[in-house]
Amino acid sequence: MNWTVDPKRRSFLTSDESASSTPFPIQNLPWGVFRRPDGRTTCGVAIGEYVLDVGRLEAAGLLPDLQAPQPLFSGDSLNAFASQGPTAWRAVRERLSELLDADEPRLRDDAALRREAIFAQADITMRLPFAIGDYTDFYSSKEHATNVGTMFRGKDNALQPNWLYLPVAYHGRASSVVLSGTPVRRPHGQTRPDSEAPPQFGPSRAVDFELEMGAFVGTGNDLGHPVPIDEAESHLFGMVIVNDWSARDIQRWEYVPLGPFLAKNFATSISPWVVTFDALEPFRCAGPSQDPEPLPYLKSPRPDSTFDIELQVAIQTSSLPEPYTLCRSNFRYLYWSLAQQVAHHTVTGCNLRPGDLLASGTISGTTPDSFGSMLELAWKGERPIELPDGSTRTMLQDGDTVIMTAACRSDAYQIGFGEVRGTIVGN
């Protein structure tokens, strides 16, 4: 296993106590883009309560020479670095891990460089980590697809005939992918609450969250050249939490025959820190058994094709003293793996590009408290969710804040993703 995830390692920026409790120990080092206190935007990694300006280390000549024609870390996105590929990603990660180690004096003992390169997270402003060219949203949870299908088509026809044979997906709107903390305006559109009457126009009455994870493409593929499944993960840079907001009433009216459109294009929120697959490696695990056996181009060569990532969704309302947990789920529940998603996406020869975002689709488990949307938790409004103050929800109201968190946990440390939060606001 890569030495960067050795559980005994510590950084000079984290105490022994905080190293086991922080979501960002030295074993993690997730990537992000942030605005420094002096107003400059740069790329960096999170470490404990701090952020390390990797652009400043690059300028100081402390990083591996990647033979890039221009600086990779002093801009406003990770696209240039991500396009360098896994060998470069690992070389930089190992160098940063070395520099942040408690026993390494180069950065630890250079007070001037530390002032220029290390900032409290409270003093910086996060930006979108990538310039996102394309966004694809999958539908990869069997439990979620079965729940939704059961509600609208009945138990015997819950899954469409194609679902067990391919990772269903649609192309989303990259321009409305926003960073955690961005308010989400309640969308307007056509709905048809009465099937015997013409449609209406107005604000959606059924705004919902969708608990998802997303993977950013690092190195793309040339047009006309599919990515084999055994190479698929090497094309992915890292993962974030995704809340793919949904207007259920708009979607119900518009989705036939081409699927989601306005019900999904008003906002997709993501967390700011991108967790690498090197950091996730110790948390690999097997995914669900697949029956029928996938076609050869989708058959994974490894049994541990997914990751044990604990997920949680909480809601904060104006009348609640603290966030209330709505559900707990896990990334490992997904039927279709990331590698299968990439292999299927590119099998036509479709070209993925650095910074493209692939979202998993809503992640639900087998028990009601693991369902990843209000639609499922309240079962199409038939089972209202009761909050601690006595109020109920079947869908989100204006002023409601949804908070999603994710982490991999071991006895020695955790690999956290931070959070993605968004508040529904009226027009």
Tens digits of per-residue pLDDT, 177-225?
999 999 999 999 999 999 999 999 999 999 999 999 999 999 999 999 9
Alpha carbon distance 279, 284 (integer Å): 10
Q: Do 399 and 271 lie in a common domain? A: yes
DSSP 8-state class, residue 10 = -
Look up the CATH number of the domain holding residue 284: 3.90.850.10
Given 144, 235, 344, 345, the catalytic residue: 144
Q: Do 104 and 197 lie in a common domain? A: no
- The answer to whether 344 is a known catalytic residue is no
Residue ending a domain, choose from 127, 149, 175: 127
Look up the CATH number of the domain holding residue 96: 2.30.30.230
Please, what is the Cα angle at 196 between 151 and 201, to 5 degrees?
A: 85
pLDDT of residue 20: 76
Q: Do 77 and 171 lie in a common domain? A: no
Location of structure tokens 């975002």:
357
Alpha carbon distance 284, 298 (integer Å): 19
**β-bridge pairing 50-53 and 169-171:** unpaired
Enter the pTM of the model.
0.97
Helix (H) or strand (E) holding 86: helix 86-100
Location of structure tokens 């980590």:
129
**β-bridge pairing 268-270 and 177-179:** parallel
Q: Which residues contact 416 (CB under 8 A, 6 or more apart)?
A: 22, 23, 24, 28, 405, 406, 407
Residue ending a domain, choose from 127, 161, 189: 127
Q: Do 32 and 146 lie in a common domain? A: no
Residues paired with 191 in a beta bridge:
200
Q: What is the domain count for the chain? A: 2
Location of structure tokens 């993703």:
417
Q: Do 108 and 169 lie in a common domain? A: no
**β-bridge pairing 268-270 and 275-276:** unpaired
Q: Do 41 and 87 lie in a common domain? A: yes
Alpha carbon distance 78, 256 (integer Å): 37
Q: Do 389 and 405 lie in a common domain? A: yes
Q: Per residue in 27-67, pLDDT tens?
A: 999 999 999 999 999 999 999 999 999 999 999 999 999 98
Residue ending a domain, choose from 95, 127, 159: 127
Q: Do 213 and 338 lie in a common domain? A: yes
**β-bridge pairing 184-185 and 414-425:** parallel
Q: Do 117 and 146 lie in a common domain? A: no
Q: Do 160 and 298 lie in a common domain? A: yes
Q: Does the pLDDT of residue 18 top 90, yes or no?
A: no
Based on its alpha-carbon atoms, the radius of gyration of the chain, rounded to whole angstroms, reads 22
pLDDT of residue 311: 98
Per-residue pLDDT, averaged over 91-104, amounts to 98
pLDDT of residue 17: 66
Q: Do 156 and 99 lie in a common domain? A: no
Residues paired with 196 in a beta bridge:
none
CA-closest candidate to residue 420, choices 171, 124, 175, 209:
209
Alpha carbon distance 140, 294 (integer Å): 14
Give the total residue count for the chain: 427
- Residue 169: strand, helix, or coil: strand
Which range marks the domain in which residue 123 is found?
3-127
Q: Do 105 and 144 lie in a common domain? A: no
Residue 27 and residue 4 in contact, taking contact as beta carbons nearer than 8 Å? yes
Q: Does the pLDDT of residue 76 top 70, yes or no?
A: yes
pLDDT of residue 307: 98
